[in-house]
Chain A
């Protein structure tokens, strides 16, 4: 929570810094940053803990927004996987945030990334926010990747 409180008031600055770091490190969500196994585990956790509000197909229900598609990805464009990870970790499930392990949150994130068309790779998604903050989210696949 402390990390979030620090991040949030500086949302803009963090966004810019996060992007800069991501660019320096050359890491992108398009580079296969999670594994298929992880996404599969995440599917199970999602169904158990997230699907009641966000829908089995991630389409959203009632007021819970979709977690799939252009609007979702645009929403996180130019942010980092760390931003998304901490948003989910510190606020979801909405009736009991931080009730999953970091590994489970990473699995769910892998599941979301897979469903939004970002490729799987050989290395699992890290569970540390500071490491995930070095991976940039871009809605469009950067040239050369």
Chain B
């Protein structure tokens, strides 16, 4: 369907303005001047390639000199929006000397000189209320590049869910694409979103562009306290890269008559939403398959309105790149009620299993399982056993009696919170932890949520933010080893309560006994550049105790790890605690009295890894102040084979997006997206000292 309705005036005006600015020749001259093919190594998609590797075979920066890295240039994103951004998650691309990235609270697109960081051009849509209402604000994860050898395009999705195609040299919208370079993703969606400003959908991920096909996912507001179970469905669509014409749609929630519809009992597929693909889509161009890591249906912790296994919720689905038809699927969690939604880009790896070459897809997860399938057939490489799990007692809930548990590789991150996981630096701390947790339910992975009561506030868990989140994993295509960060201490308590009248049509939402149930909001909503004033929230004091013991984390270290998973053998080759021990732990009297403890790593869900010829590289997400360095964070390099740290360099801010690397004129650079604390978004490019 062609988009007939004209763009809103504000957007049209913005387009005109931007076009006028972009038309000035200096932008093009600057871009052309920055373009080079001399000594260049490129990073042309969000994950370095469509297989999700985050790998570049560069070795100028290596174990011997990593510590010598210095800042080559910095690019602050403050001006790319009406206010600074403190959650910069975008990974830039590098194409022939030019850096392209999104940034800022406006999610603007910029082209930078890759050697100097100089701004070459800037583009942004001013989307007004539509942006303000978006469930996915801020700079997003990045953008995509496409060329047919002649035309060169930058593609990205705005905060207001519009797909835009820009000329890579000028930043001007491509007049042949959609309507004046823009496709309104809220239309032609096989469902009616009603008002296009308020219709609930957005996305952070970068488009997956393969050949002439662009694949776009969808994301929604957080699912702790949804207004309705019947919100937008997260269909996945493909568009023609030249025209913007829709090519196909995959119904992640099946329509009547489609495969999987009967896994929603009582026709509940008709009245439930979400089930989007908010993480990156990976593509095997040889097999002609796109891999969709589908998230959970509405809501995150209560599924009473959607009895049944709920395909394709929490499934890995392989679809035909050209038609969108399902080739295979595997549901990783049946009837998901833990917010353990698929978070990571599928990793398309070529490995050798039992002496035979095998094309596999690996999927890291919040629940610490690394799932591995033959990526042509969907057959598990190692048995995944349907395992009986505890049945809960939440009124109106429907429970799957079993869940699939991989037999190999071993679990690589804490995925339950039990007594054995509690802090035990001293018997006193352990005793206090047991007293504290007596007011909660503890249990292994897939312990079901409970209704919150004064006796048991909730289940202590690492559901929403534990394990591996949106940064996903990385891998070395030469060795078949995956490198995956995971949080081991991103814990919270989750209980359910009935919402007050008017808040939600779902019988039970997240709440704590004794506290008013209120709409929980996240930075992804109402956070964009055009957001209006908020309505006042009802008050409420007190609350259950913090999940900490004498100021120390409730659970044992490690708080964050990087694991090397050998996907040839299904084993963990090495695992290291990633990140300096937090100040409040390192300086704690108990820890000092113990004479210190080994490095604990840090609890965060923001860490993505970069893999080069010899190194695994990742920064820290927390500020520390140590004897070795003033307040800041370290960018660390590990030997790929052993996991041994071989170098670290100081960062004035913390890593908040995944790093990337490239080369211009024979010089290798590493860009780290940083933000946090009082430091607003900034791309920091590192290189070795010496002449450019």
| Residues in A lying within 8 Å of B, measured CB to CB | 1, 4-5, 7-9, 11-12, 15-16, 43-44, 47-49, 51-53, 55-57, 59, 61-64, 68-71, 73-79, 83-84, 86-87, 90-91, 93-97, 99, 139-140
Taking the closest CB of chain A, its distance from the CB of B420, in whole angstroms, is: 23
Cβ-defined contact, B464 with A62, below 8 A: yes
Say which size band chain B's interface belongs to.
35 or more
Cβ-defined contact, B534 with A96, below 8 A: yes
The CA-CA distance from A139 to B533 in the complex, in Å, is: 33
Cβ-defined contact, A140 with B587, below 8 A: yes
Chain B contact residues, majority secondary structure: loop
The CA-CA distance from A9 to B682 in the complex, in Å, is: 9
Which residues of A sit under 8 angstroms from B679, Cβ to Cβ? 8, 11
Is B552 at the interface (CB under 8 A from chain A)? Answer: yes
Closest 4 CB pairs of A and B: A70-B584, A57-B543, A47-B539, A95-B526
Which of B11-19, B250-258, B439-447, B512-520 is the contact stretch? B512-520
The CA-CA distance from A123 to B652 in the complex, in Å, is: 34
Cβ-defined contact, A56 with B652, below 8 A: no
Q: Within the complex, which residue of B86, B534, B588, B632 is in contact with A95, where a contact is CB–CB below 8 Å?
A: B534
Is B184 at the interface (CB under 8 A from chain A)? Answer: no
Cβ-defined contact, A79 with B678, below 8 A: yes
Known: A69-B548, A70-B552, A71-B584. Contact between A95 and B678, CB under 8 A? no
Excluding A64-B521, A76-B677, A95-B532, 4 further A-B contacts by CB distance (< 8 Å) are A51-B537, A51-B539, A62-B521, A95-B531
Cβ-defined contact, B584 with A51, below 8 A: no
Could you pull out 11 A-B pairs where Cβ atoms are within 8 angstroms? A53-B521, A53-B522, A56-B516, A57-B546, A59-B546, A61-B520, A70-B584, A70-B588, A74-B583, A77-B631, A91-B83
Is B625 at the interface (CB under 8 A from chain A)? Answer: yes
Is B690 at the interface (CB under 8 A from chain A)? Answer: no
Taking the closest CB of chain B, its distance from the CB of A10, in whole angstroms, is: 10
Taking the closest CB of chain A, its distance from the CB of B230, in whole angstroms, is: 21
Which residues of B sit under 8 angstroms from A69, Cβ to Cβ? 546, 548, 551, 584
Which residues of B sit under 8 angstroms from A64, Cβ to Cβ? 521-523
Q: Mark B621-658, 1 if CB is under 8 A from A, else 0.
A: 01111000011100000000000000000001100000
The closest CB in chain A to the CB of B74 belongs to A9
Is B598 at the interface (CB under 8 A from chain A)? Answer: no
Residue among B76, B465, B521, B542 with the highest chain A CB neighbour number at 10 A: B521
Q: Mark B522-559, 1 if CB is under 8 A from A, else 0.
A: 11111100011110111111111011100111000000
| Residues in B lying within 8 Å of A, measured CB to CB | 76, 78, 83-84, 86, 132, 222, 224, 464-465, 492, 515-516, 518-527, 531-534, 536-544, 546-548, 551-553, 582-585, 587-588, 603, 622-625, 630-632, 652-653, 676-680
Q: Within the complex, which residue of B84, B541, B622 is in contact with A47, where a contact is CB–CB below 8 Å?
A: B541
The CA-CA distance from A12 to B680 in the complex, in Å, is: 12
Cβ-defined contact, A77 with B583, below 8 A: yes
Chain A contact residues, majority secondary structure: helix
The closest CB in chain B to the CB of A53 belongs to B521
Which residues of B sit under 8 angstroms from A43, Cβ to Cβ? 541
Cβ-defined contact, A74 with B537, below 8 A: no
Residue among A8, A64, A71, A73 with the highest chain B CB neighbour number at 10 A: A71
The CA-CA distance from A83 to B515 in the complex, in Å, is: 32
The closest CB in chain B to the CB of A11 belongs to B679
Cβ-defined contact, A52 with B631, below 8 A: no
Which residues of B sit under 8 angstroms from A77, Cβ to Cβ? 583, 623, 625, 631
Known: A8-B84, A96-B532, A139-B584. Contact between A70 and B548, CB under 8 A? yes
Taking the closest CB of chain A, its distance from the CB of B380, in whole angstroms, is: 32
Residue among A43, A95, A97 with the highest chain B CB neighbour number at 10 A: A95
